[in-house]
Structure formats: structure tokens, C-alpha cells
Structure 1
């Protein structure tokens, strides 16, 4: 049967055009959009369909068709951004590229990162111009984020185990994400908090008085979002066993209990192991080292800090305990479960890509 639909425009490249497109494609760090469009045209020139090129380059067939037509009509100039209404540009593409390359590949003498003031002095342009260039290319030299690779030899197995519990929990069982939030401080602001008013945010002093600490044990039911919690003065092995007894009373008989938790020494103490032998329905699943993000209860702890603790002022440990219990009560009344969306394969692929980028940046790419 003959194919129907709009016919694909034929695309052929001269040697000069191919060299130019390959040069554009290598500029992924300085002009990502142009590099992506050049890769589209190079793939189209190999005879692939718009759908195949889109799948290969993670874009839509419609987008591929758009740049195919633009290139056929205007050749390489058709891949450039069209001029927009406004005052004429003061600086050329080369000036902009120089700022971007300097930002990505160099550092000012005696400093760890560029500021708009330093870059403006180097590039001979205003700070606002540098700022606009950085915003256009998504560059934020003033921001740094930390990361930590897990060195757990069973990282892959543990990720698959825990994500499997979240996404496909076993039958006749309950899955609980368990952890402690230690040393929560009862902090009282040194002076009274000034409430929010028209045109004025709430204001509080930066200094405070300390009134003691407490530890919070929490178990998040992955299926329902319910939180079972107890506060303690410390988080020793016997305190953890006491919390396990609380969970044993809370979970109805006949259900297996799968607990996701981290590698704290108190979780693996002899006292805990003896208790588990006497209660075989409890099974512990440990997260990989440096991978607390795999424990869903950490999301609950983040909300607790943001909504009940960070801006609170507490004159005593009992006042702090009351605030925590009130938040948990409201959470259990109003909130549903936290839905885990990434599969184990997606997580492992993401970790792999990040590791490859890291080694590539430091010149240690292995074969």
C-alpha cells in the first residue's frame, strides 16, 4: 500500500555546509540551541525520517520538520535565531560567546567564581549586559550544589529492592519508611516576633535562646501517607527497639512489615537483631550509603521543618513536642501518600550519566 501524508523535503549538503554544521554541533556549551539544530540537519542528511531523527535527538518530529524546511529555504542562516524587535545590539555574537566561554572555562585571579562586576571589567561591558547574557544561557556562577556518590558495593541491588517496594509492594504486607530526625532544637527568638503587616513581611531576630533538644522517630506508611511518630530524648538502639514495639502494636496482626531505613549503627545493634529474631514478620531494607534520598520519610521531614519548625519559636522542649505532634496530626488528616515516580532503571541511568559527566570534566574518562 502506498504511503500517505505530506512528502518529506529532500535535503542534501555540500562539503562546505557539512563542515559548517559539524562546527556548530561542537558548540553545545556556548550555543546549545544552534548545536541541537545542526545535529538535526546532519541526521536528516543521512536520509532518516523526521520521526526517527526526533527519537534519536529526543525531540518531536514536528520540530525536526520545522528545521528541515528552514534549512532548505535559507541554508545555514535559517538555523540562526531570527532578529527581534528592539534597539540594535551593541555587542556581536563573538562578544557574547567570549563571555560565555570565559564563564564556563576560566576563573578570575584569586577568586573561585566570576561575579558580574569582574566579568564586566574583563569583557568591557556593563554589569547588566553580563547579567542578561548569563540569564539567557542559564549560567549561575554564584550558585554551587553539593553531591556525593554512593560507595556501597550493593548500590544497584539496594536501589532495585527499595524502589520495588515503593512501586510494587508485596501482597499482605505494609511498607514503612523509617528514620530519626535527631537533635531538634527548641529555639526561642531573643525578642518577640513582629507579625506580618501590609507591605512588610514577618520579622524575627537572628539570635535565639536554646531550651534543649529532642529526637523524633517517624514511620511513613508508603501506601497511605500516614505517619506514626514518637519523640525521645536520645536515639540509641534501645530507643529504636522501643519504636519498633510501637509499630508492632500499630500494624494489624497477619501483615508482614517491610521497613526502609538507613545504615545508622543503632539500626544494626545486637539488641535490634535479637528483637527481629523474636518478630520475624519485620524485615529491614537498608538504603545504600550516602543515599538518604531513597527514604521517602525524608520528604516528610523536609515539610515538617519548612512548615512547623523553621520559623517557629519554642520556649521549652514540651512546646516543641506539642508543635511537632500538631503538625503530624494535621498531616495525617489532610495528606495522601507521596507517590514515587522514577523506576530503578531510570535512577541508575541518571546516576551513570552524572558519573560520566563528572569524570569527563576532570579528564578521567575510562574506556
Structure 2
């Protein structure tokens, strides 16, 4: 926990950006009947009936110090999907960085080994050398700042039925563009010192003095 919190407390360094990564499922749902449009003094109305079109994956990245976000829609979230997401992080999102410090959870697919399953060894090694993983503790996914972005995205952009992956890409693309234009960093106030005070029960107890 303190390893992740210390990352958030670092001074901003564009050559070694700290980014938070995770994925979340998105259920594709469409209306059965056409919606009734808005009218004066009346909101738009829609039928409670809907059609499911399966589940799709959404990768999310946020850089807490700058507020920069990026979202990518994929069919699945396998090891190969993770590997390509990490390559994109290195080559497209942060090509000038010496190393990207990534906060993520301990999901089985989140490993540098996935790079060697997706790419030739030389390419996998090149990408792996630019990545430094920092894992949140078990049951500590709330320490990953991307969860704040997913919550905001859900409230502000995914609060309606979305039936296709193309529509999902459009919605998260618009949200991401507006978020990046505003450029508001995340004000992370929970520090290691705060943790030691509020979560003292989780720390090892000091041995009692023997007389």
C-alpha cells in the first residue's frame, strides 16, 4: 500500500510518469422499442424492455498528476489484450518516457510474461524494459486512481443504454477528449502518513519491552 501511496506523492516527472491502469466490463444493451423524444416540460421516455448484446471490455489509463486519461475498447481482456495495451501505453501514449510506472492490481493477466506470449522475445524485452509495475495490495483496488475515473465515466457518460462497441468507443472518446482538455489532476490526499494513522490496525504491532 505504501509503495503505491509513495508513487502518488512524487513530484511530477515526464520522463517517468506514474499512470494507473485497469479494466472493467461493459454490458451492451439496446432498446427494443424506439424512445419517445423530449417535449416541452416532459423528459424523453423509454420502454423498460431491452436487448442484451453481450459484454465487452474497457481498458482505462489515468495519469494522476496531469489528469490525462485514455480509454480503449476491446472484445476481451486476455493476456494478449493486456500485452497489446501495454505496448500501446509505451509506444503511443508515452513514447518519450524513459520508463512508465504503472499502478495496477494483481489480476493473473497483469504480468510482463504476457508480453512474451504476444511478441517476439526482442520486442517483448523492449516493451518490458520501459515498464515498472507497482501492484495494489489484495482487497486494495480502491488505491488505484483509475477507479475514480471509471466511477466518473459511469456517472457522466455510461448512464444510458449502449448497444454496440462502436457507440461505446464514441462515448468514451468524447468523455476522454473533454477530460483531457480540462486537464484537471487528481488531488490524492491519502498518504502513507494518513494510512498509518487511520489504518493502524493493519500494521504489525511493536513487540512489548521485556523486563
CA separation in 2, counterparts of 1:262 and 1:276?
21
What's the counterpart of residue 106 of structure 2? 263
What's the counterpart of residue 244 of structure 1? 86
What's the counterpart of residue 75 of structure 2? 233
Where does 1:303-318 land on structure 2 (aligned, <5 Å)? 303-310=152-159, 312-318=160-166
CA separation in 2, counterparts of 1:320 and 1:262?
24
Match of 2:131 among 274, 282, 289: 282
CA separation in 1, counterparts of 2:196 and 2:45?
44
Higher relative contact order (CA 8 A, sep 6+): 2
CA separation in 2, counterparts of 1:256 and 1:280?
8
* Cα distance, 1:194–1:170 mapped onto 2, change above 3 Å: closer
Judging by fraction of residues, say which structure has more helix.
1
1:219: how far off? Answer: 1.3
1:346: how far off? Answer: 1.1
CA contact (8 A) 1:196 1:203 kept: no
Deviations 1:233-276 (A, max 9, x none): 00011111101111111213352210000111000263247776
Match of 2:21 among 178, 193, 209: 178
CA separation in 2, counterparts of 1:161 and 1:181?
24
Q: How many residue pairs align between the two structures?
A: 193
CA contact (8 A) 1:212 1:316 kept: no
CA separation in 2, counterparts of 1:242 and 1:201?
42
CA separation in 1, counterparts of 2:39 and 2:189?
38
* Cα distance, 1:246–1:193 mapped onto 2, change above 3 Å: farther
CA separation in 1, counterparts of 2:177 and 2:196?
36
What's the counterpart of residue 320 of structure 1? 168
CA contact (8 A) 2:17 2:99 kept: yes
1:205: how far off? Answer: 3.5
1:347: how far off? Answer: 2.2
Judging by fraction of residues, say which structure has more strand.
2
1:197: how far off? Answer: 5.2
1:228: how far off? Answer: 2.3
What's the counterpart of residue 209 of structure 2? none
Deviations 1:46-93 (A, max 9, x none): xxxxxxxxxxxxxxxxxxxxxxxxxxxxxxxxxxxxxxxxxxxxxxxx
SS at match of 1:288: coil
Match of 1:215 among 22, 36, 57: 57
* Cα distance, 1:170–1:319 mapped onto 2, change above 3 Å: closer
What's the counterpart of residue 194 of structure 2? 346
TM-score, normalised with respect to structure 2:
0.80
Q: Which runs of 5+ in 1 are unaligned?
A: 1-158, 356-367
TM-score, normalised with respect to structure 1:
0.48
